[in-house]
Amino acid sequence: MKVKNRIVMSPMGTVAHGPEGEITDRTVIYYAERAKGGVGFIICQSSIIMRESRAPHRPSIYDDKFIPGLRRVADAIHENGSMAAFQLVHHGRLLTDYQHMVDRPEELRILGPSPIPRLLRVLEIPGAKEEQDLSIWVRGNIPPEEATREDIKRIIKAFAEAARRVKDAGFDAVEIHGGHGYLISQFLSPLANQRTDEYGGSVEKRALFACEIIDAVKQKVGIDFPVIFRFSGSDFMPGGINIDDSTRQAPLFVEAGADALDVSASEQGSIDWQYPSFLFQQGPLVHLAEAIKKAVKVPVIAVGKIVDPTFAEEVLAQGKADFVALGRALLADPEWSNKAKEGRFDDIRACIYCLNCFNFKDHPNILREGLHCSVNPALMREKEFVIVPTSLPKKIMVVGGGPAGMEAARTLQEKGHRVTLYEQDKELGGQWYVASQQAQKKHDYPKLLYYLKRGLDKAGVKVHLGTRVTPGLVKREKPNIVVIATGASPAILDIKGIDNKNVVQANDLILGKVMTGEQVVVIGGRYLGMEIADQLAGEGKKVSLVARRSLGRDIERNIYLTLRNRLIKRGVFIYQSCPVVEIRPGGIYVIFNNDLVFLEADSVVLAVGVKPEKELSTKLKGLVPEVYEIGDCVEPRDVMWAIREGAELAISI
C-alpha cells in the first residue's frame, strides 16, 4: 500500500449515526472534506464488531447490512484522493459505562479478561510522573464477566468477520483498536488481566489475545490487505501498561501479522493522555512511538497533540515515527495537509485543544449534529457553510471585535458585502484576547486570535480600533445592517465593600493593569477563578478560592481535575458553597458551613462571570433596517457559541 504523504487522520468518532449505528450523510461528507484537505490516509473511527457489545454513538459493523453505508465512506474518501481504513473495537468491561444509554441493555455481554471493575481516577496531575502520588484511585463497582475460552473464540471470529466487511466495503486497510482501555488493552494490562491461563500472567501471555485477533484478521483479509494495530504505548495508570512492556509486545503484534503500529496512550482513567488539552506541550506521546519504532521494522504512527507542520516534519525527519497522525487538528481545519504542503502555515485554523469536542453539550443542536468544534463551526455541517457570493451586496457595520464579530465580519466580506468592523479597545479579540494572555493558554489560544485577525486582513475587512460605536456614528454611516457583537464585560457582586480599593478584576490582573498583595482571596469557582488562583499561588502568594456553588462548574472534566489538583498542590484553600457577605479592607466575610467566617486578604480578586453588553442594541432600535445580535451580548457562553453564531448569521445574510 502506497500513501501519497505521511499524514494520517487519526480515528475520531463523529457521534452521528442511525439508530442501529448506520452511517449517515453527515459522516460521509465529513470524511470527504478531510480527504479533500490533502491528508494521505484516513483511519475512520471505531466501529462495533458485535451486537452484544454495542455502545451508543458509534457506527456498527457487526452485520453485512452495514457494508453499503461503509462503502459510501470509502468511496467518498477515494474520490477525494486519500486512502482509507476503518477501525474495529470491542469495549469489554467499559460497556458498564454505556449500558444505560443503549436499547435493551439486558442483551449486552459485559466481558473482561478478569472480573475486575476499572479504576476510576479521583485525583490526577497529568504530565508529571513524579506527582502521581497525588492521585487517588477507586475501583468502579460493577465487575465484568470473565471471558471464557468460548467467548474469546467468538470475539476473535467477530473481529475477523468485521475486518472482512471493511475490505468488502472497499477500504484499503483495517485498524484493530487495542488501546484506550477497551477489551484488547484490558487483556494487555496487568491491572485488568489477572488470568492464570495462557491469556494472562507474563507480558507475552497478556499479548496472546491481541495476537490471535491480528492473526485471525490477517488470515481472513489476506496477505495483501494491510492490518494496522493501535495500542497504548503506556496507559499512564498506576501498575498499568508501561512502555517497557509494550516495547516487548510490539514485535509479537508484528509477528502475528500487523503491518503497521499506531501508538497512542491512555485508558479511560487517564484519558487526558488520549487527547491532551492545552495544558500539555506539543507532542507528549511521540516518545512512545519512538520507543516502539526501535523495536520493530514495520511503519509506526505517532499521535497526540501534533500541532504545527514544522513539528510534524521534525518527528518524521528525526526518524521518531514513519507517519504522524492528526486528530483534532483536522477537526479544526480539514485543509491542514494542503496548507502545510503549500507552506501556508499561517492560514491553518489551529486547534486550541480546549476539549470542547469532547465536552458533550446538552444542547439539541449539538446532539443532533454530532461532533462539534470551538474554532470550526462547519464541522459536521460542511455543506451549510459553503460561501456563496451574494447578489445583493450590503453595507454592514459589525460592532465588536471579539471572536463572534471577527468571524461574522470575515465571512460577510468573503460573501461580497462591504463590511467595517469596529472595536472600542486598541486590540482585537475581546475576552479572547484576555484569555490568550493567560499563562496556561499561551501556547494554543493566541493562535485562534491570529487566525481570525489574518482572516479579516485577507478578506479585506476595514477595521477601526479604539472606536466606540454610537447611534450618531450609525446615523452618519447609514449601513443597511448592523451586527452587534459587543460581548460581555466582567460582572461585579452586589455586596457591601465591592468598591473598596483592595478589590480588583481578574481580567485586569491578567492584563497586568493591577497588582495584588501577598495574601489574596479569589472570588469565583469557574474557569477564570481557578486559573487566577493557580497563577497567583504559582507566584508564591497565599491564596484562598471562594466559590458560591461547587467548584469548576461547566469545565471539561479532565481540565477541571488538572486545575483542581494544581490548586491543592499549591496549597490554595478552597471554599465551596460559600457565598460572600461583605468585603472589608483586610479581607472578606463569607458564610461557610452555616457560620460567618472572616478570610484575611490584602487583595480580593473578582472572577464572578460576565454580564452581556446590550446597551447599543437598545439604542439602535428603529435606526437601521436590520440589526442582529450575536455572541456573548446575547447571553454569555464559551467561544464556540460566539464563532458559531457569527458564522451562522453571516451565511444567512
Ligand X SMILES: Cc1cc2nc3c(=O)[nH]c(=O)nc-3n(C[C@H](O)[C@H](O)[C@H](O)COP(=O)(O)O)c2cc1C
Binding segment (CB under 6 A) for ligand X, from list 11-19, 111-119, 146-154, 638-646: 11-19
- The only residue of 6, 17, 167, 305 in contact with ligand X, by rule CB under 6 A: 305
| Residue closest to ligand X, measured at CB | 327
* Number of residues located near ligand X, criterion CB under 6 A: 25
Binding segment (CB under 6 A) for ligand X, from list 327-335, 435-443, 518-526, 580-588: 327-335
Element (H, E) at 431: helix 431-437
Q: If binding is defined by CB under 6 A, does position 11 make contact with ligand X?
A: yes
> The C-alpha cell of 120 is what?
476510576
Alpha-carbon dihedral sign for residues 56, 59, 62, 66: positive
> The C-alpha cell of 208 is what?
496472546
Which of residues 85 and 533 has its CB atom nearest to ligand X in the complex? 85
Instruction: Give, as ranges, the residues between 340 and 359 that touch ligand X (CB under 6 A).
Output: 357-358
Q: If binding is defined by CB under 6 A, does position 561 make contact with ligand X?
A: no
Query: Do 491 and 610 form a contact (C-beta atoms < 8 A)?
Result: yes
Which of residues 358 and 451 has its CB atom nearest to ligand X in the complex? 358
Separation between Cα atoms, residue 399 and residue 349, nearest integer Å = 23
Binding segment (CB under 6 A) for ligand X, from list 299-307, 486-494, 518-526, 596-604: 299-307
Which of residues 561 and 572 has its CB atom nearest to ligand X in the complex? 561
Task: Build a one-symbol-per-residue string for 221-260: x at contacts with ligand X by CB under 6 A, - elsewhere.
Answer: ---------x------------------------------
> The C-alpha cell of 230 is what?
493501535
> The C-alpha cell of 418 is what?
462591504
The separation between the first and the last C-alpha atoms of the chain, rounded to the nearest angstrom, is 46
- The only residue of 116, 371, 421, 616 in contact with ligand X, by rule CB under 6 A: 371
Separation between Cα atoms, residue 248 and residue 252, nearest integer Å = 8
Nearest Cα residue to 452 out of 438, 468, 463, 467: 463
Q: If binding is defined by CB under 6 A, does position 612 make contact with ligand X?
A: no
Which of residues 181 and 240 has its CB atom nearest to ligand X in the complex? 181
DSSP single-letter state for residue 257: T
Of 182, 353, 433, 628, catalytic: 182
Q: If binding is defined by CB under 6 A, does position 566 make contact with ligand X?
A: no
Separation between Cα atoms, residue 265 and residue 347, nearest integer Å = 30
Q: If binding is defined by CB under 6 A, does position 177 make contact with ligand X?
A: yes
Q: If binding is defined by CB under 6 A, does position 268 make contact with ligand X?
A: no
Q: If binding is defined by CB under 6 A, does position 93 make contact with ligand X?
A: no
- Known active-site residue 589: no
- The only residue of 274, 507, 558, 565 in contact with ligand X, by rule CB under 6 A: 274
Q: How many CB atoms lie within 10 A of CB 128?
A: 12
C-alpha angle 187/191/197, rounded to 5°?
Answer: 50
Q: What is the DSSP string of 82-127?
A: -EEEEEEE--GGGHHHHGGGSSSGGG---EESSS-PPEEEEE--TT
Query: Closest approach of Cβ 44 to ligand X, in Å?
Result: 8
Binding segment (CB under 6 A) for ligand X, from list 273-281, 405-413, 479-487, 516-524: 273-281
Q: If binding is defined by CB under 6 A, does position 126 make contact with ligand X?
A: no
Binding segment (CB under 6 A) for ligand X, from list 109-117, 301-309, 334-342, 484-492: 301-309
Strand partners, 574: 545
Q: If binding is defined by CB under 6 A, does position 304 make contact with ligand X?
A: yes
Strand, helix or coil at 208?
helix
Q: If binding is defined by CB under 6 A, does position 87 make contact with ligand X?
A: yes
Nearest Cα residue to 211 out of 163, 263, 152, 254: 254
Q: What is the DSSP string of 532-584?
A: HHHHHHHTT-EEEEE-SSSTTTTS-HHHHHHHHHHHHHTT-EEE-S--EEEEE
- The only residue of 6, 8, 13, 563 in contact with ligand X, by rule CB under 6 A: 13
Q: If binding is defined by CB under 6 A, does position 328 make contact with ligand X?
A: yes
Query: Closest approach of Cβ 45 to ligand X, in Å?
Result: 4
> The C-alpha cell of 2 is what?
502506497
**Could you list the active site residues?**
182
Name the site residues for ligand X (rule: CB under 6 A). 10-13, 45-46, 87, 177, 180, 230, 264, 274-276, 303-306, 326-329, 357-358, 371
